[in-house]
Amino acid sequence: MDVTFIPTTNLSHAAAITYENMRIYYAQFAPDWTVDKVLSVTSDLENYDILLNKEVVGVMRLHFNLSTCVVRDLQVIGRAQNKGIGMASLQEAQRLALKAKKNTLSLRVFKISPAVNLYLRGNFVIESEDERFFNMVKNV
């Protein structure tokens, strides 16, 4: 399996991947979200295409603050899920965090998302929660 990461050049396509993966959550929790809304809130982040054998199969978005690399979004298209791409993406996020001299990875995930299990396997811990979300962290 050849998973690589490159800076995103087609932000509209990346937004479409996110919208497609998240539409069941948007329908339930944020019905006003569209592909254009996703694009508007993600275009200023560090966007990386996730490639499997040179084909774009997902997107990872990061934001860096004083001491933390925030994984703002991690999406893998359905047919490429459960192949280790999510874990490879978390490892890449950790590599980029260390390169930027950050000591923590953090993220926010819907409690009902199956991705919670990925993050727990990746040694993230639940730092706090509200009705809908877990806020998770990992020291790097």
pLDDT tens digit string along 88-112?
999 999 999 999 999 999 999 999 9
Q: Return d(Cα 133, Cα 129) in angstroms, integer.
A: 6
The pLDDT score that the predictor gives to residue 7 is 98
At the fourth CATH level, which superfamily is domain 3-139? Gcn5-related N-acetyltransferase (GNAT) (3.40.630.30)
Listed by start position, the domains of the chain span 3-139
Is the confidence at residue 1, as pLDDT, over 80? no
Answer yes or no: is pLDDT of 70 > 80: yes
* Nearest by Cα to 122 from 133, 112, 136, 134: 136
Per DSSP (E only), the strands in 12-124 are: 46-52, 55-64, 68-76, 104-110
- The whole-number pLDDT of residue 117 equals 97
* Distance between CA atoms of residues 48 and 95, nearest Å: 13
User: Average pLDDT of 11-17?
Assistant: 97
pLDDT at 30: 85
